Amino acid sequence: MTSLSRSEVQTIEKYWIDYEVYKKKLKYREWELLHPHNEQGELVGGRSNTISDTTAKKATVLANDAYYQNLKRIIKTVEDLYRDLDDDMRTIVDMRYWDKDGCYEWEDIADKLYISRHKVLRKRNILIDKTAERIGWV
């Protein structure tokens, strides 16, 4: 497997940390694409005399937007990986990335799991590598 740079690892960790933010961005982007406005803030479009397949139009608009598709891929990757993680890996994600009180240090996570800090970091590296692979970076 290709080695990731430090900045790439930080970016992938940010995907895990900001998972909820990405879900909100995805919903907003979907709304933005399906309800276009002009520069004056007026809704673009309106009624026409043609019969249209609105579901197909919506699907096409969403499928053709690279930003929307990228957000969707990140969210799906995080959700799928988290669902497949063992208990130790879930504890690492919960404590390091998703805890509302702040980020736990690696030593705190190691103490909770009764393993070494080195082993916790190895498990984190596996998570980062799997995330990068599923996103399509490697």
Do the beta carbons of residue 51 and residue 59 sit within 8 Å? no
Average pLDDT over every residue of 30-42: 75
Helix/strand/coil (H/E/C) assignment for every residue in 18-45: CHHHHHHHHHHHHHHHHCCECCCCCECC
pLDDT at 53: 66
pLDDT at 50: 47
Tokens of 68: 């929307």
Average pLDDT over every residue of 60-84: 94
Closest by CA to 109, choosing from 125, 88, 129, is: 88
Any idea which residue has 């919960």 for tokens? 94
Any idea which residue has 């800090």 for tokens? 117
- Whole-model pTM? 0.82
44 contacts: CB under 8 Å, gap ≥ 6? 36, 37, 38
Q: For the chain, first and last CA: distance in Å?
A: 7
